[in-house]
Structure 1
């Protein structure tokens, strides 16, 4: 008896997904819909049905990509944190000068507030709704970001670029808070560009840190 041959991957994919269906685009549409609704209404006042309706999709499509509304919230939080971690790695690879690193970190932090404003708003206002393993994973990645900030400051202290009495942990709280809170007031179309705000922030911070 002849052995049945397996179907080509392209055939299997066409049979699994309807023509024109793009899983990645569907997922991104749901995330974009959720970002707008949750930023405007809050997590607890936004339903899965509303997210699906706004994206012109079904609840079935939502649950194909996310286990729950909490899972979607975790994804939104991690998307922002992972962008921060990737930027930190690049900053560290591009220069070993502590002053340059902190300056670039401030510039990126403010740029990301402008680029990820909805993510940042949701991160600070809605993360209390995460619990259990979802909260633990977001907290772990948040800790990695803060540890990287503190590590850059500690390196500057150790190398004599920053004052020896600077506590890296306290400096990190100040840096993170100063940059993150900009989501409340930073006006991308205002009289000062994001780069100019970053320059002024850097001048204040580095003047305080410099040995």
Structure 2
């Protein structure tokens, strides 16, 4: 199509991803056909396959968009070497605010990627496991050092955080009564109050 050429490669690729993201969020990955994606994006199937080898690649690219920033932010936060309370609060703030900013993409990938098992997704799943273990390692070390209470295991504590953030796309509304920063602060206050070490 002329419009695809006029936009240039980056524009076409972005439009395809945006169309796929909307459709996956609206009706699910399995229920979305490649034809629906190209129709909404205003490109040809050949144009789509020029940038993406398979429909699954669209989902993988969305996951990268959602998660690569969070993983980079986690590494940057941990690299500061601050105390565990500050570090955990910063991680919670980043994941809540970042997920809220990419709510549509999160909705598109949250259910689907967990059921996939292929070479395309194994690296992404490994990155997610690394993220989880980094957060749990922070909690575990702080508990061993007596900074955090051992009231709950690092796994349970981390899932209390991830449970909120992974489902955020289902309940957060940008025009709701609380902005993401407030939600992040309240969640961090809640988690850290539970982890407060007693004298």
In the superposition, relative to structure 1, how do residues 133 and 197 fare at CA in structure 2: closer, same or farther (>3 Å)? same
Greater shift in the superposed pair: 60-69 or 116-125: 116-125
Output aligned runs, 1:160-199, within 5 Å. Answer: 160-199=146-185
Compute the displacement of 1:50 (Å): 1.5
Please say if residues 70 and 130 of structure 1, whose CA atoms lie closer than 8 Å, have aligned partners that are also in contact. Answer: no
Query: Following the alignment from structure 1 to structure 2, what is the Cα–Cα distance between the partners of residues 20 and 113?
Result: 32
Greater shift in the superposed pair: 30-39 or 181-190: 181-190
> In the alignment, what sits opposite 1:86?
72
Q: What do residues 104-146 of structure 1 show as CA deviations (whole Å, max 9, x unaligned)? A: 1111111122111122212222225533212322221211111
Please say if residues 163 and 210 of structure 1, whose CA atoms lie closer than 8 Å, have aligned partners that are also in contact. Answer: yes
Do structure 1's residue 29 and structure 2's residue 5 form an aligned pair?
no
Please say if residues 66 and 99 of structure 2, whose CA atoms lie closer than 8 Å, have aligned partners that are also in contact. Answer: no
Query: Following the alignment from structure 2 to structure 1, what is the Cα–Cα distance between the partners of residues 152 and 115?
Result: 35
In the superposition, relative to structure 1, how do residues 54 and 129 fare at CA in structure 2: closer, same or farther (>3 Å)? farther
Please say if residues 35 and 45 of structure 2, whose CA atoms lie closer than 8 Å, have aligned partners that are also in contact. Answer: yes
Compute the displacement of 1:96 (Å): 1.6
Greater shift in the superposed pair: 44-53 or 127-136: 127-136
Please tell me the root mean square deviation across aligned C-alpha atoms, in Å: 2.0
> In the alignment, what sits opposite 2:119?
133
Please say if residues 74 and 130 of structure 1, whose CA atoms lie closer than 8 Å, have aligned partners that are also in contact. Answer: no
Specify which of 44, 54, 77 is matched with residue 40 of structure 2: 54
Do structure 1's residue 146 and structure 2's residue 138 form an aligned pair?
no
Structure 2 gap ranges (5+):
none
> In the alignment, what sits opposite 1:38?
24
> In the alignment, what sits opposite 2:56?
70
Question: What is the TM-score with the length of structure 1 in the denominator?
Answer: 0.83
Question: Secondary structure at 2:174's aligned position in 1?
Answer: coil
Greater shift in the superposed pair: 133-142 or 106-115: 133-142
Compute the displacement of 1:165 (Å): 5.0
> In the alignment, what sits opposite 1:156?
142
Question: Secondary structure at 1:71's aligned position in 2?
Answer: helix
Greater shift in the superposed pair: 34-43 or 126-135: 126-135
> In the alignment, what sits opposite 1:107?
93
Greater shift in the superposed pair: 120-129 or 65-74: 120-129
Compute the displacement of 1:181 (Å): 1.8
In the superposition, relative to structure 1, how do residues 69 and 129 fare at CA in structure 2: closer, same or farther (>3 Å)? farther
